[in-house]
């Protein structure tokens, strides 16, 4: 007999959404987080965009879970009064070559059954965003923005109301296979260790999820995480007031990223970014690089002609937990119940990069189906 039925490691937006869903049906659900509260890593260092599911290859988990998750998320926000805004997004072409690329983006989106995208001409763009320069744009009305802290807080509240237990300051330091499940050892903030057994373990540890998988003996280069940093610059007032919607340039051909874009937030702030830089080692290095100002300025200036060099300043950085090596083709999420590796009841979520905030409720539903008791 195990002490705990289901243990989830990691209280980021994905782990919280999963704990919420699973504790709604099962008893004895335990969520462990090494920090003293939720969302201290990638889940609070992102663009807070509710993505429409435009770019991802047809039938990929990223495409499916994003389209499903977006609708679930809008309903959830409305029901629980979570601040959000369906502000829409423009993907802008500034040259004829880029116009061809956005036509390709439209076709990918149609394959993902996104039927609400509209191609806009120069005048129509000017009606929506008069300060933006573009010769053509793809308009996505279902893209939005969200207060991710309020979202995570509500997931936490639902989990507790369902009877789930959340332990902060609790870092999983080892996991052993037992006859009926797993024995986890947890280090607390005061340095003390304790161990308990759990029938199921769900690894939702974000940037260190490959290391958690390593604790049960999974050594698999194909699910190694590559740290890929993204920095942001903010547009300093008053020029932030010139933009009301999300504005993206054309995406990178291998989808390593979707371009240094304009993100608006619910408080009226406007950010440029994130850029993309694979780090040499898996260390959470959130330092900012002021010398990137020129690169940010010149990419954004192509579609924001009003911008001057001193209108932007370094803001923050986040790190993507990527499965895609530098230069590699698209990689999907790895969400797997590991019976195939002789580890029944161990569920890995690895490479949960964007759009996992948008998809969090759909990811939770997907993981719920993998927990068959
Ligand atoms: C720059 C950037 C921009 C993004 N923009 C968007 C966007 O606009 N829209 C969108 O949908 N997505 C976006 N994303 C993606 C989104 O932020 C992530 O996919 C999502 O936050 C991942 O959540 P998570 O719960 O998997 O991971 P995390 O938030 O990293 O949570 C993992 C948790 O596990 C904990 N943990 C790790 N190891 C242990 C251990 N041993 N014991 C206990 N706890 C442990 C960590 O402390 C952490 O709290 C962006 C990401 C980045 C980097």
Q: What's the pLDDT at 233?
A: 97
The whole-number average pLDDT for the span 319-341 is: 96
Q: What's the pLDDT at 258?
A: 55
Lowest model confidence (mean pLDDT) among 212-221, 293-302, 349-358: 293-302
Name the burial class of residue 187, with classes exposed (0-12), middle (13-18) and buried (19+) by CB atoms within 10 angstroms of its CB.
middle
Indicate yes or no: pTM above 0.95.
Answer: yes
> What is the 130 CA–ligand 1 centroid distance (Å)?
35
Q: What are the tens digits of pLDDT across the range 167-187? A: 999 999 999 999 999 999 999
Q: What's the pLDDT at 83?
A: 98
Number of CB atoms found within 10 A of residue 366's CB: 20
Q: What's the pLDDT at 173?
A: 98
The whole-number average pLDDT for the span 285-291 is: 97
Lowest model confidence (mean pLDDT) among 105-119, 299-313, 355-369: 105-119
* Residue 268, token pair as written in the block: 């009226």
Q: What are the tens digits of pLDDT across the range 145-155? A: 999 999 999 99
Distant-in-sequence, close-in-space partners of 230: CB < 8 Å, separation ≥ 6: 257, 273, 274, 275, 276, 277, 317, 318, 319, 320
Three-state DSSP class for 357?
Answer: helix
CATH hierarchy code of domain 4-45+149-224+330-370: 3.50.50.60
Name residue, tokens 């979707």: 258
The whole-number average pLDDT for the span 84-113 is: 91
Chain region(s) in the chain for CATH 3.30.9.10: 89-141+226-322
Share of the chain above pLDDT 70, in %: 98
Burial annotation 17-34 (CB, 10 A radius, 16+ → b, else e): bbbbbbbbebebbbbbbb
CA geometry: angle 179, 182, 187, nearest 5 deg: 145
Of 13, 206, 247, the residue with max ligand 1 atoms within 8 A of its CB, to mutate for a pocket test, comes to 206
Q: What are the tens digits of pLDDT across the range 124-148? A: 999 999 999 999 999 999 999 999 9
Which homologous superfamily does the CATH classification assign to the domain defined by 89-141+226-322?
A: D-Amino Acid Oxidase, subunit A, domain 2 (3.30.9.10)
Q: What are the tens digits of pLDDT across the range 223-264? A: 999 999 999 999 999 999 999 999 999 886 655 555 689 999
Phi, psi for 322 (deg, rounded to 5):
-95, 140
Residue 350 has pLDDT above 80, yes or no: yes
Taking the CA of residue 359 as reference, the ligand 1 atom at the shortest distance is 11
The whole-number average pLDDT for the span 54-67 is: 93
Q: What's the pLDDT at 251?
A: 80
Q: What's the pLDDT at 230?
A: 96
User: Is residue 108 within 8 Å of 54, Cβ to Cβ?
Assistant: yes
Confidence of residue 113 (pLDDT cuts 50, 70, 90): confident
> What is the 349 CA–ligand 1 centroid distance (Å)?
11
Q: What are the tens digits of pLDDT across the range 72-82? A: 999 999 999 99
Q: What's the pLDDT at 259?
A: 64
Share of the chain above pLDDT 90, in %: 90
Distant-in-sequence, close-in-space partners of 183: CB < 8 Å, separation ≥ 6: 175, 176, 195, 196, 197
Q: What's the pLDDT at 373?
A: 58
Name the burial class of residue 357, with classes exposed (0-12), middle (13-18) and buried (19+) by CB atoms within 10 angstroms of its CB.
buried
Q: What's the pLDDT at 110?
A: 86
Q: What's the pLDDT at 256?
A: 52
Q: What's the pLDDT at 22?
A: 98
User: Is residue 137 within 8 Å of 90, Cβ to Cβ?
Assistant: yes
DSSP letter at 135 equals S
**Ligand 1 surroundings by CB, under 6 angstroms:** 9-15, 32-35, 40-43, 45-49, 51, 171-172, 204-208, 212, 230, 274, 318-320, 352-358
CA-based radius of gyration for the chain: 21
Q: What's the pLDDT at 87?
A: 97
CA-nearest residue, atom 21 of ligand 1? 43
Q: What's the pLDDT at 254?
A: 54
Confidence of residue 108 (pLDDT cuts 50, 70, 90): confident
Chain region(s) in the chain for CATH 3.50.50.60: 4-45+149-224+330-370
Confidence of residue 112 (pLDDT cuts 50, 70, 90): confident
CA-nearest residue, atom 9 of ligand 1? 49
d(CA 67, CA 106): 15
Q: What is the DSSP string of 33-74?
A: -SSSSS--SGGGSS--EE----SSPTT-HHHHHHHHHHHHHH
Supply the mean pLDDT for the chain: 95
Taking the CA of residue 15 as reference, the ligand 1 atom at the shortest distance is 25
Three-state DSSP class for 313?
Answer: strand
């Amino acid at each position: 007999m195990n002490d705990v039925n289901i243990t989830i490691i990691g209280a980021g937006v994905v782990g919280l959404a999963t704990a919420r869903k699973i504790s709604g049906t099962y008893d004895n659900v335990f969520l462990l987080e090494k920090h003293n509260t939720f969302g201290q890593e990638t889940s609070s260092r992102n663009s807070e965009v509710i993505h429409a599911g435009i770019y991802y290859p047809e039938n990929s988990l990223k495409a499916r879970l994003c389209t499903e998750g977006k609708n679930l998320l809008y309903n959830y926000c409305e029901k629980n009064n979570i601040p959000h805004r369906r502000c829409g997004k423009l993907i802008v072409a500034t040259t004829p070559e880029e116009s061809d690329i956005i036509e390709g983006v439209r076709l990918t989106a149609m394959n993902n059954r996104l039927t609400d995208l509209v191609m806009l001409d120069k005048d129509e763009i000017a009606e929506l965003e008069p300060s933006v320069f573009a010769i053509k744009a793809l308009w996505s009305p279902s893209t939005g923005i969200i207060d991710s802290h309020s979202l995570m807080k509500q997931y936490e509240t639902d989990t507790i109301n369902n009877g789930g237990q959340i332990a902060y300051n609790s870092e999983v330091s080892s996991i052993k296979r037992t006859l009926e499940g797993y024995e986890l050892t947890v280090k607390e903030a005061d340095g003390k260790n304790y161990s308990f057994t759990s029938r199921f373990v769900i690894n939702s540890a974000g940037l260190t999820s490959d290391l958690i998988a390593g604790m049960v003996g999974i050594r698999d280069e194909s699910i190694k995480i590559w740290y890929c940093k993204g920095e942001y610059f903010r547009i300093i007032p008053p020029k932030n007031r010139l933009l009301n919607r999300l504005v993206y340039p054309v995406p990178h051909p291998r989808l390593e990223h979707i371009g240094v874009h304009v993100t608006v937030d619910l408080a009226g702030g406007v950010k440029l970014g994130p850029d993309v830089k694979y780090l040499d080692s898996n260390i959470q290095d959130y330092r900012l690089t002021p010398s990137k100002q020129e690169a940010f300025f010149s990419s954004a200036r192509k579609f924001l002609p009003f911008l001057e060099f001193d209108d932007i300043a370094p803001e923050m950085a986040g790190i993507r937990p990527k499965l895609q090596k530098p230069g590699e083709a698209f990689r999907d999420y790895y969400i797997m119940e590991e019976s195939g590796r002789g580890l029944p009841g161990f569920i890995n979520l690895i490479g949960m990069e964007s759009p996992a905030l948008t998809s969090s409720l759909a990811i939770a539903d997907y993981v719920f189906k993998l927990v068959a008791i």
